[in-house]
Amino acid sequence: MLQVKVIATDVENLTDARYFAAMGVDAVCFDLSAISPEVFYAIKDWIEGVRVYVKGTAEESDADANIVQAASDFVAERSIIVESSYEDIKDAQLPSGQIINEHRHWDKHEPDLQEEIIAFAFDHQHYLHIPWTKELLSHTLDQDKLFGIVVSGGVEEKIGYKSFLELDDLFDIIEEE
């Protein structure tokens, strides 16, 4: 069991989906702009025990709307996750469980702002999507200031093969002993 909640985003292949499900994440999130409906349906049939989210835009086709419906039918409850920057979310009155995405900007923030973002995410029970390192994750867990994290899938080196060494290090840290 994991000490914090985890959402895996950018899942584009069966290798990622099965890895994340086996690691005990709470949800996997598929990007509708990156995979076809056939790939989505094939992958979702191979995973169990996790919520399935899809991300996309309001302008998507009927085929993509069917994927959204299938994802909603696949899990017991429907959830909407907003993925926003800290600047966009800090003054909004959003329900808990949203994603604060500072992945691209994290290294540009001053340490005080980084701590403020971490504290805000914890206080409002939001998932934090930042470039997690073993040191940062350990430090944040030691402070007892972490609700949930976001990890990302990616491209396979070849079909069915991918190295998960960096992710394994993160999961080793958040696994309960």
171 φ/ψ angles, rounded to the nearest 5 degrees:
-65, -35
The amino acid sitting at 74 is F
Q: Is the pLDDT of residue 79 over 60?
A: no
149 φ/ψ angles, rounded to the nearest 5 degrees:
-125, 165
31-77: per-residue pLDDT in tens? 777 888 788 888 888 888 888 887 654 444 455 555 555 554 444 34
Q: Please answer whether residues 47 and 25 qualify as being in contact, where contact means their C-beta atoms are separated by less than 8 angstroms.
A: no
Cα 65 from Cα 139, distance rounded (Å): 41
Mean pLDDT, residues 89-118: 84
Mean pLDDT, residues 2-25: 93
Name the region of 10 (left: φ>0; alpha: ψ -120 to 50; beta: rest).
left
Dihedral angle over CA of 166, 167, 169, 170, nearest 10: 130
pLDDT-derived band at 25 (thresholds 50, 70, 90) equals very high
CATH class of 5-174: alpha beta
Mean pLDDT, residues 110-127: 92
Using N-to-C axis directions, what is the helix angle for 165-174 and 134-142, rounded to 10°? 10
Cα 78 from Cα 32, distance rounded (Å): 17
pLDDT at site 71? 54
156-168: per-residue pLDDT in tens? 888 888 999 999 9
> Which two three-digit tokens encode residue 59?
């302008």
